[in-house]
């Protein structure tokens, strides 16, 4: 089966987000990491917050999920980091490439 793991998190600091992305690749926890600049609106401690963030989308293997979560919980600057994930079916060529990388 050609399943890949897509995990999405956010970081408030651009330099830190890029460092996290590079470390994920260097440590073979991800084959590819995409960064996207977003505006977020959310409730925190009874206030509505509005901030600019970097969304970090991680493409990896399903079996690395626990290692990824542990890594991100240590690296992300938020008290409660957003960590959401799902397994997806991938095109065979992309699946093969991902598995050669990590």
For 41-70, how does the pLDDT look when each residue is reduced to its tens digit (9 = 90+)?
A: 999 999 999 999 999 999 999 999 999 999
b/e code 14-47 from CB counts within 10 Å (16+ = b): eeebeebbeebbeeebbbbbeeeeeeeeeeeeee
pLDDT at 1: 64
Average model confidence (pLDDT) for the chain? 96
User: Residue 28: which CATH number?
Assistant: 3.30.70.120
Count: domains in the chain? 1
Query: Which domain covers residue 88, as residue numbers?
Result: 3-8+14-35+57-101
Does the predicted TM-score (pTM) go above 0.85? yes
> Considering the domain boundaries, does residue 91 fall inside one?
yes
pLDDT tens digits along 79-97 = 999 999 999 999 999 999 9
**β-sheet bridge partners, residue 80:** none
């Amino acid at each position: 089966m050609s399943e890949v793991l897509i995990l999405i998190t956010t970081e408030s600091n651009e330099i830190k987000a890029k460092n996290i992305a590079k470390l994920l690749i260097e440590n073979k926890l991800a084959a590819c990491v995409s960064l996207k600049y977003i505006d977020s609106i959310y409730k925190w401690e009874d206030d509505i917050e509005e901030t600019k963030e970097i969304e970090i989308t991680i493409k990896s293997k399903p079996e690395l999920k626990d290692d990824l979560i542990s890594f991100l919980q240590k690296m992300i600057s938020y008290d409660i980091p957003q960590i959401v994930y799902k397994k997806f079916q991938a095109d065979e060529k992309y699946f093969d490439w991902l598995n050669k990388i990590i």
